[in-house]
Amino acid sequence: MPGLKDELNSALVRLNQSAPEIKASAFISLDGLMLASALPEGSNEDAIAAMSATVLGLGERTTREFAVGELQQVYFKGKDGFIVLQAAGEDGVLVIVTDSSAKLGIIFLLLSRTANEIQAIVQKALTPVTLPVTQPVTPPVTPPVTQPITQSAPPNATHTTPASSANSSLQPKTPPPNSAWSR
């Protein structure tokens, strides 16, 4: 099962593959930490993350100062392309880099869809897992086993045998008088 970072990286790879003009993308915490990226090899992720969070913070302060409503996106246009930042939920910033041939309307649409996807991934990861409550299994009731009542001697009682019966097994057997043996 993929972890949070794997799911976020997969969303960024899909974003990069959705339009040939997109060259790189990243998801960054509001504190400036890189959470996931699909950046070119050799990119300084720490610097990109810190600058992106700073730019988003400045954009939020600027829109608040000019009273133009909540910040939706920040973008820069350079000679060779665009950098677009958009909030992805309350926890992070989605950043993409495009070449100069990018159609911004399509890029904004793809960025918005991916921001929603990332927000759902993060929300799912933060939602506590509730385990189903099971009722305790009660064992079947079986009737108690009754033992036959036997009489036993009290613990202090002594068992005595009559002397005649005790010695009879040690005496040789003699026929009783007037019996068939005596004849």
CA 120, 32, 30, 88: dihedral to nearest 10 degrees?
-30
Fold of 4-124: Beta-Lactamase (3.30.450)
How far is residue 106's CA from residue 70's CA, in Å, rounded to a whole number? 22
Full 3-state SS string of 121-154: HHHHHHCCCCCCCCCCCCCCCCCCCCCCCCCCCC
Q: Is 78 helix (H, G, I), strand (E, B) or coil?
A: strand
What is the residue extent of each domain of the chain?
A: 4-124
Q: Is the pTM of this model over 0.75?
A: no
How far is residue 101's CA from residue 87's CA, in Å, rounded to a whole number? 24
Q: Which pLDDT belongs to residue 103?
A: 94
Q: Which pLDDT belongs to residue 109?
A: 94
Q: Which pLDDT belongs to residue 132?
A: 77
Residues of the chain scoring pLDDT < 70: 1, 148-183
Q: Per the structure block, which two tokens stand in for 95?
A: 């950043």
Q: Which pLDDT belongs to residue 136?
A: 76
Q: Which pLDDT belongs to residue 133?
A: 76
